[in-house]
Amino acid sequence: MGWTAATGSLDAGAFLLGGILYSWQFPHFNALSWGLREDYSRGGYCMMSVTHPALCRRVALRHCLALIGLSTAAPILDVTTWTFPAISLPINLYISYLGFRFYTDADRKSSRKLFFCSLWHLPLLLLLMLTCKQPPGGKCDKGEPQS
């Protein structure tokens, strides 16, 4: 919504940003719900961490990996420069590593690490995306003024 409100159009950037926010939420909330699953179970809440624990971990890992793909898609869609996938790769690999640890270890410690990583990952990823954005109107030649 924010992209569309700011640009006045529903273009590739809107879908890319929506995809990043969509994929980010799964490691964030699945890791959070893992640490609270005993409480959810006692309260009778049907959370994935209670009803399908393996699926909870698998979905978190899958969406951590999707963040790498989405970051790589940004310059293909002319939303960012090719610098973005390169400089976002370390933080995307780190959250994916923590997602893998959560998937394999299935414990409170790994879920907490993934959750706390997700708190700084999204703002940093969006900041990197902003600093690597394509100039208005796409690429410009250095020799010609942009109209």
pLDDT digits (tens, 9 = 90+) for 45-63: 999 999 999 999 999 999 9
CA dist 127 and 131 (Å) reads 6
The pLDDT tens digits of the residues spanning 65-102 come to 999 999 999 999 999 999 999 999 999 999 999 999 99
* Interval 2-29 mean pLDDT: 91
Alpha helices in the chain (DSSP H): 2-7, 12-35, 37-43, 48-51, 53-76, 83-105, 108-131
Check: CB of residue 27 under 8 Å from CB of residue 60: yes
Q: What pairs with residue 133 in β-bridges?
A: 80
Q: Whose structure tokens read 């690597």?
A: 132
